Amino acid sequence: MQKTYAAERIEPGEHLATLGRLWRDNLAEGEVTEELVARRMRWFHEENPAGAARTWIGLHGAERDVIGCASFYPRVTQVAGQRLLAGILGDFAVDKAHRIAGAAMAIQRAIAQGAREAGAEILYAFPNRASFPIFQRCGYAKVTDAVMWVKPLTAAYKLQELASAAPEVRRETAHTVVGRVADQARRAIPAERWRALWEGALPEWIEDRLVDAIGAPEHPIVRTGVRAADTALAGKDAALLLAQGRRVDGEITKSADARFDDLWSRAKPTYIMGERTAAYLNWRYATFKTTDYRFFCVTDRRDGQLVGYAIYYIQGNKVVIADLFCEDFDAHAGLVLLKLAERMRREGYDAIGLAYVGPTSFGERLRTLGFFQRAFPKDVGSRWLIVRVDAQTPEALRAELLNPERWWMTEGELDA
C-alpha cells in the first residue's frame, strides 16, 4: 500500500509529550529520563528569548498518525547592517518506519512554504550531504561547507594518533622526519665521507628505529622528542601572544553577564551572524545543558572591558569551541584564541578544535596561529550551510546571503 504523508503547523505547547517522544526515539543520544525530555522540550520550544519555536508535525495516512516533526527556532541575525528574524532548522525527527523521502519532504516543504507567515524572513540550516537533496527540492541553496581546524597544545595529541595508526602511516611519518634530518645533515656537514652516511644504510636504520618508537609512546626517544616539541609549541604561542600588543586577562565563567551585552552593543559585525546578547547566550549554553559549556572571557587589563570570548566544552582531552566572538572580530579573534590556548595548555588539555563557516581569510589566520585543517569525523560527516530565500527577498540581500565569504557561524549554530 502506498504511504501518504502530510504536514501541518502546531502550537508546540499543546503537543510537548508527542514532540518529546519523537525527540527521544529519533534524536537523543543514549538513554534519557522523562524529566530530561520534558525539560528539553520546554527549553527548545518555549524559552528562546528571540521567540518560541515554530513547529510542524508529519502525518501519515487517513488515520493521521504523527510520525515526525521539525521546527525552526527564531534567531535575530545581522545581515549587511540589517536586523532580520531568521529561522534555524532544528529537531528534525522522523520515525524509523517512515524514513523515506515522502515523509521528510512533506514536513520540510510545509516549513519552507509557511516560514514567512510564521515570522521568518530567511531560513538556514546545516544538514549533512546525504540529506541535502530533500532541502534542495524545498528551495534551499548550498552556500558552503563547514570546516574544522585543530590546534595541538601538546605533541602527545599527534603522537596518540600515530601510535594507533596503521604501520604504513607510521612508516610514512618516520620517512618524512628522517628525510628532513638527512637534508639538514647534508647541508650542515658537506664533507664527502660524512655525507656518505646519509646516502647509505644509516637513514634506513634510523627510520626503522623511529617506526618502532612511534608505536610506543613511552619509548625514550619519543619522550625526549615530546618534551622538546611541547616547549617549542608553548614558546611559539607566547611569542604570538606578545605580538598581539594588548595586555589582557582570561577568566572562565559558567554563564554570560552584563559584560556580554556591553560587548555586543560595542561590536560592529561585518559578517552575517546571530545576535549574541547575554540572554541568548545563556539560553543556548547555560540554562539547559546536556553539554557542560564554559565561557572563556578575555578582558582588557586597563579598563576590564570584555574584548571577546570563546564558549567551549571538553571532549576527551580536547577543547571544542562552540562559539567565538570579539568586539573587532578580524583584529581580536587571534588574541582570544591564543589566550585560550595558554590557559588550556596550563590545564593539561591536548588540543583545541573549532568548526565554523566563515571567510577564507580566517582559515589563513588560523594557520598562522598553529591550527591545521582536519576532516570531520566519519560519524559526523561533512556539514553544509544552506539558505532558503524566496521571491520576496531583495536581490542585494540574496547576493549577500549566498556569498560564503560573508558568513560567521560556529558549531553552536550548527545544531541546538
Average pLDDT score over residue span 154-160: 64
CA 19 to CA 77: how far, in whole Å? 27
Average pLDDT score over residue span 199-219: 54
Lowest mean pLDDT segment, chosen from 273-287, 359-373, 378-392: 378-392
Quick: pLDDT tens for 344-362. Answer: 999 999 999 999 999 999 9
Query: Percent of the chain having pLDDT more than 70?
Result: 80
Q: What DSSP character marks residue 319?
A: E
pLDDT at 376: 81
pLDDT at 127: 87
Mean pLDDT over each residue of the chain, to the nearest integer? 86
Residue 49, exposed/middle/buried by CB under 10 A (0-12, 13-18, 19+)? Answer: middle
With residue 227 as reference, give the H or E element that holds it. helix 220-243
* Number of neighbouring beta carbons within 10 Å of residue 36: 15
Average pLDDT score over residue span 182-207: 51
Lowest mean pLDDT segment, chosen from 23-27, 82-86, 204-208, 360-364: 204-208
User: Which grid cell sits at 356?
Assistant: 565554523
Torsion of CA 230, 235, 238, 244, to 10 degrees: -120
Average pLDDT score over residue span 197-211: 51
Full set of structural domains in the chain with CATH? 5-143 (3.40.630.30), 159-229 (no CATH), 241-384 (3.40.630.30)
How many CA atoms lie within 13 Å of 34's alpha carbon, on the beta-carbon side?
2
pLDDT at 214: 52
Average pLDDT score over residue span 139-159: 86
Residues 6+ apart with CB under 8 A from 353: 148, 149, 150, 151, 315, 318, 319, 320, 321, 374
CA 230 to CA 152: how far, in whole Å? 10
Place of cell 502506498: 2
Quick: pLDDT tens for 35-67. Answer: 999 999 999 999 999 999 999 999 999 899 999
Length of the chain: 416
Structure confidence at residue 1 as a pLDDT band (50, 70, 90): very low
Average pLDDT score over residue span 96-120: 93
Structure confidence at residue 213 as a pLDDT band (50, 70, 90): low
CA 290 to CA 166: how far, in whole Å? 35
> Which pairing describes strands 122-125 and 82-94: parallel, antiparallel, or unpaired?
parallel
Question: For residues 152-169, b (16+ Cβ closer than 10 Å) or e, as one string?
Answer: bbbbbbbbbebeeeeeee
